[in-house]
Amino acid sequence: MASVGIIANPAAGKDIRRIVAQGRFVPNNEKINILKRVLAGLDAVGVESVLFMPDSGMLGRGALDGSNFKFETEFIDIPVFHAEEDSTRAAAHMRDRGVGCVITLGGDGTNRAVAKDLAEVPILPISTGTNNVFPSMIEGTVAGMAAGLVSQGVVDVRVVATRSNKLELKLNGDVKHIALVDLAVSYERFVGARAIWDMSTLHEVFLCRAEPSSIGLSAIGAQLKPISLGDGGGVHIEFGDGDGSVLAPVAPGMVLPVKIKSWQALNAGDSTIVTLRPSTIALDGERTLSLKPSDSASVTLSSDGPLVVDVNKTLRAAAELGHMRD
């Protein structure tokens, strides 16, 4: 049975950047509208089953309210704590249930949580967060159609999906966290309100995506070494005086010169030890953990990230097959 999983994060896009920068605000009724369009796309191409993360109950149920879709729906039975781990647990459950694709609504953080245990299931990320690089601003209807086509095997996933890089944070010998775009080391001692907006608090950043048209840390790296999805490689930047500066959009509505002390390109497998203490590690722009003085920490660039569905490639491949013609 061709099935698709949906993981929609109701908390995405509500962080402190709405005060310190002109962060975009996406209300949940708009997320429900996006989901309605996604579901219409899934239904139109004949998906038979849609699994929802229960945390998105208000979003998923809102989108299904008053609808009459042909597919079966299920809110999966996992414990819900309204926290990031919900997304990771939901993704693993959907993987085990054999979904052909997982659609996410959220930002880089949501996708990081989903990608952690998704293995070979392709992901189709729709952006509803703040400084998004990993998910795309994409119309829900066509996103739903593309996910449906991938899940049914109409198109070859090896052709229409691209494998992402990821950054692995090894703590005291074990890989404890991943990042899909950037991993920054901050001078701040505490996680606090999580987001990073003051570049003077940063010591260094590792990037596996450096998109010139993005916002945030990725945009800084793009001025030194642009890296798009599928390009491979990464970049490591140390901030401070030494090697000039780059002008970059560091947050919504904030374009600032950022001082570069040094930088170097990274290849898959390259590993760097994080020596700064006290410090905080930020994953995809969100401070996540404080490093203890006794922690040994290193960052490794991996080419084994999640498979990301390209909506345009998918619909084009389906069109070339004449799949939608009668």
Partner 1 sequence: MPEGKELYMLQLRRMMLIRRFDETVQTMVQSAELVGMAHVYIGEEAVAVGACTALRDDDYITGNHRSHGHPISKGGDVRRAMAELLGKATGYCKGKGGSMHLADFDIGILGESGILASALPVAVGAALGSKMQNNDRVVVSFFGDGASNQGACHEAMNLASVWKLPVIFLCENNQYAVTTSYRDTVAVENIADRAVAYDMPGVLVDGQDVMAVYEATVQAVQRARDGGGPTLLEARTYRYEDHSEGLNRILREPYRTEEEVARWKERDPIKLHSAWLIEQEVATQEEIEAVRNDVRQAIEDALEFARQSPYPEPEDLFTDLYSDPLPAR
Q: Where on the chain is the footprint of partner 1 (CB under 8 A)?
A: 10-11, 14-16, 18-20, 25, 27-29, 58-59, 79, 81-82, 189-194, 278, 290, 292-293
Cα 139 from Cα 124, distance rounded (Å): 12
Spatial contact of 167 and 302, defined as CB atoms under 8 Å apart: yes
Which amino acid is residue 59, in one-letter code?
Answer: L
Q: Which is nearer to partner 1, 54 or 226 (CB)?
A: 54
Q: Which is nearer to partner 1, 81 or 319 (CB)?
A: 81
CB of 64 to partner 1, least distance (A): 16
CB of 182 to partner 1, least distance (A): 20
Q: Which is nearer to partner 1, 60 or 100 (CB)?
A: 60
CB of 28 to partner 1, least distance (A): 5
CB of 160 to partner 1, least distance (A): 32
CB of 192 to partner 1, least distance (A): 4
Q: Which is nearer to partner 1, 15 or 310 (CB)?
A: 15
Q: Which is nearer to partner 1, 70 or 292 (CB)?
A: 292
Q: Left, alpha or beta for 254 (phi > 0: left; psi -120 to 50: alpha)?
A: beta
Length of the chain: 326
Q: Which is nearer to partner 1, 32 or 161 (CB)?
A: 32
CB of 196 to partner 1, least distance (A): 11
Cα 178 from Cα 201, distance rounded (Å): 21
Cα 148 from Cα 132, distance rounded (Å): 24
Spatial contact of 266 and 237, defined as CB atoms under 8 Å apart: no
Quick one: angle between helices 28-44 and 57-64, nearest 10? Answer: 50
CB of 183 to partner 1, least distance (A): 20
Spatial contact of 193 and 16, defined as CB atoms under 8 Å apart: yes
Q: Which is nearer to partner 1, 189 or 316 (CB)?
A: 189
Cα 71 from Cα 42, distance rounded (Å): 9
Q: 116-145 burial string, b = 16+ CB within 10 Å, else e?
A: bbbeebbbbbbbbbbbbbbbbebebbbbbb
